[in-house]
């Protein structure tokens, strides 16, 4: 009668391993999807930073030109543009840093899961 409990134990162990593997594969898919989402968001924030850099440059140029030409309105608009662009740059930079930290966390978890699946 020992073979039946042994077979039952083997069946339960293989069922639990299969269940765990399925959970790990599901989590891996979820992590991969989130990594893709984080990567796309990071690209958007990087593009916003590049656009903001151009805004700072153009705003500074307009402010300088307006000041030397005596056009106070142009100088004021240039200063406003440069300040707004600087704020957009800083906001995108902070968001990008948070996304990179999340990406590192997800990458570590992905490596753990892949290691467990091997």
Q: Which of 48, 45, 67 is nearest to 56 (CA)?
A: 48
| pLDDT, position 19 | 72
| pLDDT, position 8 | 44
| Phi, psi dihedral angles at 48 (to 5 degrees) | -65, -35
For the chain, the first-to-last Cα distance in angstroms comes to 35
Spans of all domains in the chain: 37-118
Task: For residues 42-48, give the mean pLDDT.
Answer: 98
pTM greater than 0.85: no
| pLDDT, position 16 | 54
- Res. 101: pLDDT tops 70: yes
Angle ∠(37,40,46) on CA atoms, nearest 5: 140
Span 20-40, pLDDT tens digits: 989 999 999 999 999 999 999
Span 75-93, pLDDT tens digits: 999 999 999 999 999 999 9
């Amino acid at each position: 009668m020992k073979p039946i409990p042994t077979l039952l134990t083997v069946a339960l162990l293989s069922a639990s391993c299969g269940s765990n593997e399925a959970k790990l594969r599901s989590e891996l898919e979820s992590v991969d999807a989130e990594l893709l989402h984080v990567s796309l968001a990071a690209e958007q924030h990087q593009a916003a930073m590049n656009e903001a850099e151009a805004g700072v440059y153009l705003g500074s140029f307009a402010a300088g030109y307006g000041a030397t030409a005596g056009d106070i309105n142009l100088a004021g608009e240039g200063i406003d543009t440069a300040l707004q662009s600087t704020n957009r740059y800083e906001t995108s930079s902070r968001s990008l840093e948070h996304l990179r930290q999340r990406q590192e966390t997800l990458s570590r978890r992905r490596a753990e899961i892949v290691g467990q699946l091997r």
